[in-house]
Structure 1
Amino acid sequence: MFLLATPKQPSPIPDLEQLANGMANGCGTDPVCSAFVGLFQKAAWAPLVASVITIVLIVVIAIVVRKLAQRVITRVVNRAASGTSITGRLRRTQATDGIDALLHERRKQRAETMGSVLRHIASIVIMGTAILTVLDRLTIPIAPLLTSVGILGVAIGFGAQELVKDFIAGMFMLLEDQYGVGDVIDTGAAIGTVEAVTLRVTRLRDADGRVWYIRNGTITRVGNESQGWSRAYIDVPVAYDADVPEVRELLKRVTEELWSDHDYRESVIVEEPAVYGIEQISDTSVIFRVSAKTLPSKQAEVARELRLRVKAALDGAGIALAA
C-alpha cells in the first residue's frame, strides 16, 4: 500500500527570515516606502531600511493622532462639564445656588465618564489600525487575523447579548443624565436612593434598607424625584360652611411666614409658596391646596413644616379641620 504524501501547507505567519526577505524585496505599491528607497539611490539595502523607517513613522503618527484625539475629547468634556445654569430664571437664593452646584457636579461626573469611554474607544481604534498597518508592512497576511477577530466578535455578540445591551443602555443613561448618585428614583422594579451607577448596573437602597442591583438593560422607565427641583404640597380640609376668604387669607399668611423664615428661604425653598385655593369640594368639606417649590428631595421636610404651621394657625383662628 502506498501512502500519498500531502504537500506541506505554508504557514500563514512567516518566520523571521521570511519577514526580512519580504521587507528587503521591495516596497510594493507603498508610495511612502518607495520615496525612502529613492532617497537612498535605490541601494540593495534600501528597501529594508525604508520599510523599517515606514514602520517607525506609522507608529509615531499613530501616537501623535492618539494624543490629539484625547486632547480634543478632553476639551469637549471640559466644555460639557461647565454648562449653563438651568435655574437662571428663578430668583437667585442660596437654594438655587445649591441646585446649580448639584447640577454642575453631576454634569461634571457624567462628562468625565463619557470622556473616559470615548478616550478608550479612540485609543483602540487608532492603535488597532496602526498595528494592522504594521503587520501588513511586515508582509504578515492580516486577512486570516481579521476573519478570526470577526468570528470571535460574532460569537461574543451572541453569547453576551444582555451584557452589550446593559452597556449601551448605561452609556445612554449617563449621556442623557437620567439619574445620578443620591437621586431617589422609581425604576419599576424598585424604588430607592441611587448609591452607585456603572455602565452595567445601578445600585439602589430602598426605604427598608435593602440594596437592589438592577441591570441597566432591564430598566424601561425611570421616575426621578431628585432632578432639578421638587414640589411639596398639602391639602387642608375644612368644614363646608367655613368662611372661604378667611381660610384662604389665613393660609396665605402661613406661606408668607414660611417664606420669610431664613432657615427655609435660603436653604430649602426655591420659590415663594402659593395657595391654590379650593382644590376639591364635597357636601361635608372644602379642601384647599398649598404648594411650595423646594430643593430636590426636600419636599417631605417642607410639607411637614407646612402642616405644623397650618394646624397652629387654624387652631388659633378657631377653624376646625373637616373629617
Structure 2
Amino acid sequence: MNIIEDLWKDFYQYITNAELWLNIGQGLLKIVLVLVISSVFIRIGKLAIGKIFLFRGKSPIRISERRENTLAKLLENILTYVVYFVAIIMVLETLTINVGALLAGAGIVGLAVGFGAQSLVKDIITGFFIIFEDQFSVGDHIRVGNFEGTVEEIGLRTTKIKNWTGELHILPNGNITEVTNFSIHNSMAVVDISIAYETDIPEAERVIQELLDEVPDKYEGIVKPPELLGIQTLGASEVIMRVVCEVEPMRHFAIARMLRKDIKLRLDQHGIEIPYPKMVMFNKKEQVG
C-alpha cells in the first residue's frame, strides 16, 4: 500500500510541476509557430514565383507560355516539399528527438527501401525528362494510352490529365512511355459532304468554293483558307466531297462543326440535295396458274 501511495505522490508531484507545463506550453507554441510560419512562407513563395513568371512574360526574351506554366507548377511543388521537410525537422527538434541519429538511421533504412522503391525513382527520373525535354506542358491536350485530355499539372512523380467530361486522371510518370501531343502543331479540320448522284458536281463544287472563300473572315482560329479537295469517295447512294482547313491547335473540332453548318445551309439555298436513306417497297402479286 505504501508503494502505491509513493507512486501516486511522485506522479502527482510530476504532473503538478509548473516547470513541466511551462515546457509543454512552450513546445506546443513553437510547433504552432513553425506550422504557421511554414504555411505563410509557402504562400509567399508561390506568390513570388507567380510574380517572377509574370515579369518574364513581359520581357522580350521569354520561353513559351506552356513551359512557363509547367515550370511554375513544378517550382511550387518543390517549394512545398522543402518547406514541409524543414518544418518536420524543427518539430522533431522541439520534441527533443535526436534528429541527427534519426536521419542517419533513416539513411540506412532508405538505402534498403530504395531497392524496393525502384518504381518511385523511375517516376521521378521520367518526370524530370518530361519537363527537361518539353514533351508536354500544362495546358497541352495529350493522349497517353487510353487517357486523353488537358494536362492540369506535371509533378516529379505524377501527371494529372483532365478529360473533357471532367474526370481527372493521375498517372505515375514512369507509366508514360508514349505520348501524343495535340497542342504543339496546328490541327486540321476535315469535313466530308455527301451529295446525291443526280447533283451537278461542278455546280456543287462552285457553291462550296464560294462559301469557303468567305470563311477566313468569318471565324477566328483559321490559319489557312479552307480547301475543297474534291470527290473523296463514291458511296452506295452518295458522292462524298472533302473539305480541309488548317487551324490553330485543338480548334479543329469547333471549326469543323461550323463548316458543316454553313455548307449545309448554303447547299439548301441552292437546292442541292444531301441524300438520306430511303426505303422502297415492292408488292409482287402472286400469279394463279
Paired residues of 2:70 and 2:153 also in contact (CA < 8 A): no
Aligned to 1:106: 66
* 2:257 matches 1:304: yes
Q: List gaps (5 residues or longer) in structure 2.
A: 1-55, 78-104, 277-289
- For 1:48-63, list aligned pairs within 5 A: none
For residues 35-67 of structure 1, the C-alpha deviation after alignment (integer angstroms, 9 at most, x for no partner) is xxxxxxxxxxxxxxxxxxxxxxxxxxxxxxxxx
Q: Secondary structure in 1 aligned to 2:240?
A: strand
Residue 159 of structure 1, CA deviation: 2.3
Cα distance in 1 for partners of 2:274, 2:200 equals 13
Aligned to 1:178: 135
Q: 1:159 aligns with which of 103, 116, 119?
A: 116
Residue 251 of structure 1, CA deviation: 1.6
Letter in 1 for 2:242: R
- For 1:9-20, list aligned pairs within 5 A: none
Letter in 2 for 1:284: S
Aligned to 2:157: 200
Cα distance in 1 for partners of 2:141, 2:70 equals 17
Letter in 2 for 1:275: L
Q: 2:217 aligns with which of 260, 266, 274?
A: 260
Q: Indicate the structure whose relative CO is greater, using CA pairs within 8 Å and at least 6 residues apart.
A: 1
Cα distance in 2 for partners of 1:295, 1:239 equals 33
For residues 59-87 of structure 1, the C-alpha deviation after alignment (integer angstroms, 9 at most, x for no partner) is xxxxxxxxxxxxxxxxxxx9xx958xxxx
Letter in 1 for 2:240: I
Cα distance in 1 for partners of 2:71, 2:166 equals 30
Cα distance in 2 for partners of 1:283, 1:210 equals 40
Letter in 1 for 2:216: W
Paired residues of 2:73 and 2:153 also in contact (CA < 8 A): no
Aligned to 2:230: 277
Question: Percent of pairs identical after alignment?
Answer: 37
Paired residues of 2:66 and 2:137 also in contact (CA < 8 A): yes
Cα distance in 2 for partners of 1:82, 1:169 equals 28
Cα distance in 1 for partners of 2:152, 2:76 equals 21
> TM-score w.r.t. structure 2 length?
0.58
- For 1:77-92, list aligned pairs within 5 A: 82=61
Cα distance in 2 for partners of 1:302, 1:229 equals 13
For residues 130-171 of structure 1, the C-alpha deviation after alignment (integer angstroms, 9 at most, x for no partner) is xxxxxxxxxxxxxxxxxx999767534312211111111112
Cα distance in 1 for partners of 2:191, 2:178 equals 27
Q: 2:242 aligns with which of 282, 289, 297?
A: 289
For residues 224-258 of structure 1, the C-alpha deviation after alignment (integer angstroms, 9 at most, x for no partner) is 22223211111101112322222222221111111
Q: Secondary structure in 2 aligned to 1:247?
A: helix
Letter in 1 for 2:238: S
Aligned to 2:93: none
Task: Work out the number of aligned pairs and report it.
Answer: 193
> TM-score w.r.t. structure 1 length?
0.53
Residue 306 of structure 1, CA deviation: 0.3
Q: 1:314 aligns with which of 240, 262, 267?
A: 267
Aligned to 2:172: 215
For residues 79-98 of structure 1, the C-alpha deviation after alignment (integer angstroms, 9 at most, x for no partner) is xx958xxxxxxxxxxxxxxx
Cα distance in 2 for partners of 1:115, 1:206 equals 25
Paired residues of 2:192 and 2:242 also in contact (CA < 8 A): yes
Q: Residues 178 and 317 of structure 1: is their aligned pair in 2 closer, same or farther, counting only changes over 3 Å?
A: same
Aligned to 1:238: 195
Q: Secondary structure in 1 aligned to 2:64?
A: helix
